[in-house]
Amino acid sequence: MRRQAKLRYRLTAMVLLLLAATLAAVTAITHGQSLSVIRRQAFALNSKLVDAGAERLETEYSQLNSLFQSIYLNEDFKELLRHRGSGAAYADAALTKAAFLSVLSSRKDLYSIIYVDEKGRLFYTTRDEAGYYDSYLSCSLPEEYVALLENSGDWEHGLRLMPTSGHMPLRHSHSGGTQVYAAARRIVNTEQQFAPAGVMFITIDLSELGGIAGMVRAYDTAVTYISAADGRVIFDSSGALTGGMLPEALSSCLGSGPVNEVQQESGKYIMVSSYAEGPEWYLLSLIPESVYTADALSVSTVILITAAVALAIAAAIAAAASRAISRPVEALAEAMDSSGIEDLSQRVPVQGSDEIARLGTSFNRLMDDLESSIQREYIMNLRQKDAVIRALQAQLDPHFLYNVLQSIGSIALVNDIKNMSDEETHALDDVTLEDHLNTYTTHPFVHCCVSQVGFIYCCIPEYRLSAGEFARCLKWE
């Protein structure tokens, strides 16, 4: 039964092993394909988001140009340009405040407007205060602003964006030092043959850039950068590099294509970028490679769970099927084990017409033929023995046997028995006739004849008849 049971288990194990190998291969292939599809779709989605963010930056740049145009059209600013330097500084500060407040109120992300006239005087206006300095060198302007003012003669007309830095200190509030980026433009007096009239800075906080970065960032673990072409970071969604420089691994990929693989100390990333021509800024979305792997792993996990359920169902079906298949084989093996020459009556039930049913039919036929053959052989042997016995019985009458013994009178046994005295015959009472006869001959025919004579005369079988009794009977005859 143990070997029979192993057949069923091996059959089930082979089916399950085949199914498990197939499911494992399908899962591995599906994982690779799902990772490829997820990466491709994610690249397409992130590229669209980054392109949309770059368009927002272009729009932001156009709106900054519109702000400068609105300042040019402001009557208070026009009045300032007409009488610049002719009045007291505080009077000019009042005009700049009146002109700039209306512009500041048009957008929530505008932080301040700073105007430096051709004499180097600095006028600033925020929502909370306004003021002026007799020289821009005395108000702790950021270095980039100062460098631009000192080289304003080499500056062509147009809007120039300044990198993110801390705002200049304010006189009456503690909000100075807020991180802002700025749009700078040379100011000319349109009423005086476009004579140079100084430089104006519009500073903007990072809230709008944060909104653009949030729109672009498709994953919580992704990081969005807005940087200049030289790698200067205008905005970093994580806040770590704002105002600083991009890592070499990122800055080296600027302009090399919309999608790049980047290796950093924290791991492998996919960098999706887009270029905004107006501000000449790059919008970068840095996405960890693990995001795509996690998405593919979640798909593979669902597949594995489904495969495990399918494998469990397949195991139950395989166990039932193997039991149905192996049961006739087990019955046949059990019948063959219990069959023998002593018992040829074992048969196996046959159902169906498949190969196993044919095997059972062949076994039953073999047992029938074997049983019939042995029965016929047994009957023939009985009949043959019976014929021999009848022939011997017909021939072996006392006178015939005696004549036979007389015809072999030369046998020493007969001579010795005839010459024995009574004492010698009694000495042979403890010796069987068979043992005494073996000392003369072992010929079966002689033994058979002597046995028949001894049984006829003494009515005792050869193996129990003593040699002395047989000798006395033979002498009396």
> Mind listing the pLDDT tens digit for each residue in 65-111?
898 888 888 888 888 777 765 556 667 778 888 888 888 888 899 99
- Binned at pLDDT 50, 70 and 90, residue 307 comes out as confident
**Which range is least confidently modeled, 43-47, 124-128, 211-215, 347-351?**
347-351
- pLDDT average, residue stretch 285-292: 82
pLDDT at residue 36, rounded to an integer = 74
Residues pairing with 123 in the sheet? 115, 132
DSSP classification of residue 345: -
- pLDDT per residue as tens digits for the range 449-459: 777 777 776 76
Q: What is the pLDDT of residue 265?
A: 78
pLDDT above 90 for 361: no
Report how far residue 259's alpha carbon sits from residue 420's, in angstroms, rounded to the nearest whole number: 131
- Rounded Cα distance between 396 and 404, Å, is 10
Confidence (pLDDT) at 411: 59
- Rounded to an integer, what distance in angstroms lies between the CA atom of residue 285 and that of residue 237? 10
Please determine, for residue 406, whether its predicted confidence score (pLDDT) is greater than 50: no
Mean pLDDT confidence for 44-65: 90
Two tokens at 310? 């399918």
Q: What is the mean pLDDT of the chain?
A: 79
Asked whether the predicted pLDDT for residue 275 surpasses 90, the reply is yes
Structure tokens at 435: 């043992």
User: Burial of 124 by CB count in 10 Å (0-12 exposed, 13-18 middle, 19+ buried)?
Assistant: buried
Read off the amino acid at residue 101.
L
Beta bridge partners of 180: 165, 205
Q: How confident is the model at residue 473 (pLDDT cuts 50, 70, 90)?
A: confident
Question: Residue 151 to residues 34, 113, 148: CA-CA distances in angstroms?
Answer: 56, 20, 5
**E strand or H helix at 161:** strand 159-166
Q: What dihedral do alpha carbons 270, 164, 104, 78 form, nearest 10°?
A: -120
Mean pLDDT, rounded, for 136-141: 88
CB-based contact 467:431 (threshold 8 Å): yes
Q: What is the CB neighbour count within 10 angstroms for residue 416?
A: 14
CB neighbour list of residue 265: distance below 8 Å, 6 or more residues apart: none
How many CB atoms are located within 10 Å of the residue 437 CB? 21
Q: Are 217 and 235 in contact (CB under 8 A)?
A: no
d(Cα 209, Cα 58) in Å, to the nearest integer? Answer: 12
Token pair recorded at residue 397: 């009458």
Contacts (Cβ under 8 Å, ≥6 apart) of 7: 326, 329, 330
Given a cut of 60, whether residue 468 has pLDDT beyond it is yes
pLDDT for 282 equals 94
Q: Which of 54, 140, 132 is nearest to 92 (CA)?
A: 132
> What tokens were used for 106?
């048009």
CB atoms within 10 A of CB 240: 9
In this prediction, residue 410 carries a pLDDT of 39
DSSP character at residue 353: S
**φ, ψ (nearest 5 deg) of residue 285:** -120, 115
Here the tokens at position 84 are: 């610049």
232 has pLDDT over 90: yes
**Are 444 and 384 contacting, i.e. CB atoms less than 8 angstroms apart?**
no
pLDDT higher than threshold 90 for residue 382: no
Distance set, CA 267 to CA 45, 247, 287 (Å): 22, 14, 10
On whether the CB atoms of residues 96 and 77 are closer than 8 A, the answer is: yes
Single out the residue of 103, 119, 226 nearest to residue 163, CA to CA.
226
- Residue 3's pLDDT band (cuts 50, 70, 90): very low
**Which is higher by pLDDT, 6 or 1?**
6
Q: What is the average pLDDT across 171-197?
A: 79
Name the percent of the chain lying above pLDDT 70.
80
**How far is it, in rounded angstroms, from Cα 53 to Cα 55?**
5
pLDDT computed for residue 8 by the predictor: 66
Query: Tokens 């028949």 correspond to what residue?
Result: 452
Residue 402, classified by CB atoms within 10 Å of its CB into exposed (0-12), middle (13-18) or buried (19+), is: middle
Query: Is the entire prediction scored with pTM above 0.85?
Result: no
Total residue length of the chain:
477
pLDDT (average), residues 144-161: 81
CA atoms lying within 13 Å on the CB side of residue 198: 19
Measure the N-to-C terminal CA separation of the chain; round to a whole number of Å.
Answer: 69
Return d(Cα 90, Cα 338) in angstroms, integer. Answer: 123
- Which of the residue ranges 236-240, 310-314, 351-355, 436-440 would you say has the lowest mean pLDDT? 351-355
